[in-house]
């Protein structure tokens, strides 16, 4: 299937079998030479091809060219969540447990003693239903997923949609909605890993800027408990552009910090910018979310490679996981938006804007 308007297009092709269901790959292409490939398995971005300053178009994200790549033993053992849609709740939940309206909800402990990224079979490991493929003002694909009451331990029947769209300004927009019949924790994010030099080197030459003066401190198991810290005077201060290698000299494990944004609630605002000098590529992040987990791939397995031999691995790419507060439902004062109720649907937008 090809839908076309001027030089904007959408193409669809088979991607592999998942439990006797044919997964598909959707390619969104704009008039600037960008191509974004997304599969309905896990609502996963598999590749983003972007020109550099010399006009060479290359892939700048971690992923695989067929569904089989996501089931190879090194990937399953490492669980890096390349490019997927994470849910029902992103990041770690302390002791795999939360209480809501006087009732206790145990969850799978799939990250040591804690719960992470929605559990054993989170939204990243589900087949999503494609409900719309449209050209409109920009090529887009819309997917839907139903999560039944008590799936992975979460209360409430939840219907989730995610809309991916690519415009003429080389902005990849990801819009989420969710509706529930019971109050339940919801925090959705996209887990794409970026390397703006197309994996010729690691990310230490990238310049990072995150418009945030505070981050959430974590306990010994890397879970926030609700305490904020100032970035001022520390290696994690990215309020002004900083070469990542300089910050890494004080951070042997790199970044895995949840930055908090001082912006109007639910307002779409620019929260981060990244540049890579050799390619000339840049990435700007806009979001309606209150914060972002900036992760630089310390735990990513070095044996992971794309089918063409491109090497992924430790410090070879970074994530910008815009979301609600990790473990927020367990904070002494639960932040606004960490719980979704039947009368207030969940909405979220994140935009990745590329330049070169």
**Which residues does the annotation mark as catalytic?**
191, 321
d(CA 59, CA 46): 10
| Pick from 24, 63, 26: nearest CA to 41 | 24
Report the candidate in 312, 284, 142 with the shortest Cα–Cα distance to residue 208. 284
Q: Which residues of 148-165 are buried (b: 16+ CB within 10 A; e: fewer)?
A: eeebbbbbbebebbbbbb
3-state secondary structure of 349: strand
Q: What is the DSSP track for 207-254?
A: EEEE--SEEEEE-TTS-EEEEEEE-TTSTT--SS-EEHHHHHTT-TT-
Of 215, 201, 293, which Cα lies nearest the Cα of 243? 201
β-pairing, 140-147 vs 158-166, is antiparallel
Tokens at 277, concatenated? 């000098």
CB 117 within 8 A of CB 81: yes
Is the backbone peptide bond immediately before 88 cis, with ω within 30 degrees of 0?
Answer: yes
Adjacent-strand bridge partners of 55: none
Alpha carbon distance 139, 118 (integer Å): 29
CA distance linking residue 304 with residue 326, whole number of Å: 27
Place of tokens 């409109």: 136
Structure tokens at 171: 């902005």
Integer angstrom CA distances of residue 82 from 62, 78, 306, 318:
6, 11, 11, 11
| Non-local CB neighbours of 137 within 8 Å, separated by 6+ positions | 167
CA end-to-end distance (rounded Å), the chain: 30
How many residues make up the chain in this entry? 356
């Amino acid at each position: 299937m090809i839908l076309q308007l001027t030089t904007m297009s959408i193409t669809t092709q088979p991607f592999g079998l998942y439990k006797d269901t044919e997964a598909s790959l959707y390619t969104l292409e704009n008039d600037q030479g960008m191509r974004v490939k997304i599969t309905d398995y896990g609502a996963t971005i598999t590749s983003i091809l972007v020109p550099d300053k010399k006009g060479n178009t290359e892939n700048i994200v971690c992923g695989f060219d067929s569904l089989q790549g996501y089931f190879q033993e090194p990937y399953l053992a490492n669980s890096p969540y390349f490019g997927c849609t994470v849910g029902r709740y992103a990041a770690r939940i302390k002791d795999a447990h939360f209480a809501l309206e006087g009732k206790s909800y145990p969850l799978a402990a799939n990250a040591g003693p804690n719960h992470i990224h929605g559990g054993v079979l989170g939204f990243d490991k589900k087949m999503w239903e494609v409900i719309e493929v449209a050209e409109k003002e920009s090529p887009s694909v819309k997917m839907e997923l139903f999560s039944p009451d008590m799936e992975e331990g979460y209360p409430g029947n939840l219907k989730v949609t995610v809309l991916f769209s690519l415009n003429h300004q080389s902005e990849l927009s990801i819009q989420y909605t969710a509706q529930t019949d019971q109050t339940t924790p919801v925090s959705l994010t996209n887990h794409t890993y970026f390397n703006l030099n197309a994996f010729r080197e690691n990310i230490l030459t990238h310049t990072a800027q995150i418009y945030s003066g505070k981050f959430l401190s974590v306990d010994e198991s890397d879970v926030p408990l609700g305490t904020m810290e100032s970035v001022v005077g520390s290696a994690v201060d990215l309020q002004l552009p900083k070469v990542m290698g300089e910050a890494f000299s004080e951070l042997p494990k790199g970044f895995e910090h949840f930055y908090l944004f001082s912006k109007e609630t639910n307002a779409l605002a620019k929260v981060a910018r990244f540049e890579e000098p050799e390619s000339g590529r840049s990435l700007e992040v806009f979001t309606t979310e209150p914060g972002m987990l900036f992760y630089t791939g310390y735990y990513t397995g070095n044996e992971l490679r794309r089918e063409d031999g491109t090497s992924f691995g430790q410090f070879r790419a970074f994530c910008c996981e815009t979301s609600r507060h990790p473990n927020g439902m367990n904070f002494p004062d639960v932040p606004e938006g960490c719980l979704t109720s039947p009368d207030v649907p969940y909405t979220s937008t994140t935009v990745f804007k590329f330049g070169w």
